[in-house]
């Protein structure tokens, strides 16, 4: 059954309807959960950066190894060396937070430039981007990252530059597609006819007003991607090295004790990864529905 209800208040002012009036309940749930995850991650990053941790993440306590949650003094239990899991989880955010921001900055900036060139200028820019896209698509990303690690050094920032660059074509394509769509409408031409300078048209009317929602959505998805890459690499031992905690190497370290029944030390960081990535993905999805007003796919 579908209900049709007129919104109270001034009619036809779509922009002033509250989010709840514009969106379906699921979109709000997704976005709300996603925003909560982002808030927790950012707050934890700040806590970790200032060292305001519930416990010393490096303090070894051999008397209390692989403790379950809610052990006194250790809310989330301890790992195989008796280190506090909660503190290590919070500190583990340091491993991906800034590198992830670097990756999405690179992919958003590069993708926007390429997308605008392809969509606005067209011609051979379009061809270059298609080839670039095909090239990256045909090359497994993890192999590329391992190549970079082998060629330079196992630094997470090097890896994130690769993640950023490989994320560019997706955004470039989306923006080029958006511009192609906008071109059917004549407002870009009209803006030129009104004498607006080209940079105003591109930066304000195309990128800011028409692509900002798309960029925010891609930023959340890009962050999820970056976290996944960081944790996978750390899990494989190519990323952050013990004793510095990362969610990836925590899962790996805990996995050795998994079959002995101590599933918690690796499950806790795994759940953290799951919750975070799910949150970012759902945030992207929810924002897409709220801001772009249509379902993906």
Does position 257 interact with another protein (CB under 8 A)? The reply is no
Q: Is 292 in the site for another protein (CB under 8 A)?
A: no
Distance, in Å, from the CA atom of 288 to the CA atom of 297, rounded to the nearest integer, reads 11
Nearer to another protein, 134 or 186 (CB): 186
Question: Which candidate, 103, 244, 236, 107, places its Cα nearest to that of 170?
Answer: 107
Note whether 187 binds another protein by CB under 8 A: yes
- The distance of closest approach from Cβ of residue 195 to another protein in the complex, given in angstroms and rounded to an integer, is 2
Selected binder of another protein within 155, 192, 242, 256 (CB under 8 A): 192
206-245 footprint of another protein as x/- string (CB under 8 A): ---xx-----------------------------------
The answer to the question of residue 15 lying near another protein (CB under 8 A) is yes
Gap between the Cα atoms of 128 and 9, Å rounded: 50
Residue bearing tokens 């002995």: 260
Size of the site for another protein (CB under 8 A): 21
Q: Which long-range contacts (CB under 8 A, 24 or more apart) does 34-40 make?
A: 34/220, 34/279, 34/280, 34/281, 34/282, 34/283, 34/284, 34/286, 34/287, 35/283, 36/279, 37/275, 37/276, 37/278, 37/279, 37/280, 37/283, 38/220, 38/279, 38/280, 38/283
By the rule CB under 8 A, 17 interacts with another protein: no
Q: Which helix (H) or strand (E) holds 81?
A: none
The least CB distance from residue 130 to another protein, in Å, is 19
Based on the shown chain and the rule CB under 8 A, indicate whether residue 62 belongs to the binding site for another protein: no
Q: How far is the CB of 293 from another protein (least distance, A)?
A: 11
Q: Which is nearer to another protein, 25 or 195 (CB)?
A: 195
How far apart CA 159 and CA 12 sit, in angstroms, is 48
Contact residues toward another protein (CB under 8 A) are 12-15, 184-187, 189-196, 198, 200, 205, 209-210
């Amino acid at each position: 059954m579908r209900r049709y209800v007129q919104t109270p208040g001034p009619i036809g002012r779509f922009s002033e309807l509250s989010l709840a009036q514009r969106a379906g309940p699921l979109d709000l749930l997704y976005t709300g959960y996603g925003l909560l995850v982002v808030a927790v991650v950012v707050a934890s990053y700040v806590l970790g950066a200032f060292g305001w941790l519930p416990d010393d993440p490096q303090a070894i306590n051999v008397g209390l190894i692989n403790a379950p949650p809610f052990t006194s003094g250790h809310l989330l239990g301890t790992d195989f060396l008796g280190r506090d899991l909660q503190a290590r989880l919070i500190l583990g955010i340091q491993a991906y937070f800034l590198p992830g921001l670097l990756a999405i900055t690179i992919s958003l900036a590069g993708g926007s430039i390429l997308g605008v060139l392809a969509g606005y200028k067209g011609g051979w820019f379009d061809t270059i981007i298609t080839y670039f896209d095909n090239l990256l698509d045909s090359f497994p990303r993890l192999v590329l990252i391992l190549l970079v690690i082998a060629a330079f050094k196992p630094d997470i920032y090097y890896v994130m530059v690769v993640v950023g660059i490989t994320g560019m074509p997706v955004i470039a394509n989306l923006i080029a597609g958006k511009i192609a769509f906008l071109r059917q409408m004549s407002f870009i031409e009209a803006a030129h006819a009104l004498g607006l300078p080209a940079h105003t048209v591109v930066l304000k009317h195309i990128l800011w007003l028409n692509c900002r929602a798309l960029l925010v959505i891609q930023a959340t998805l890009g962050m999820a991607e970056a976290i996944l890459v960081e944790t996978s690499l750390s899990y494989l031992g190519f990323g952050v090295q013990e004793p510095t905690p990362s969610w990836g190497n925590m899962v790996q370290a805990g996995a050795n004790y998994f079959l002995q029944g101590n599933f918690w030390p690796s499950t806790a960081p795994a759940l953290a990864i799951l919750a975070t990535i799910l949150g970012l993905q759902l945030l992207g999805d929810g924002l897409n529905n709220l801001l772009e007003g249509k379902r993906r796919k």
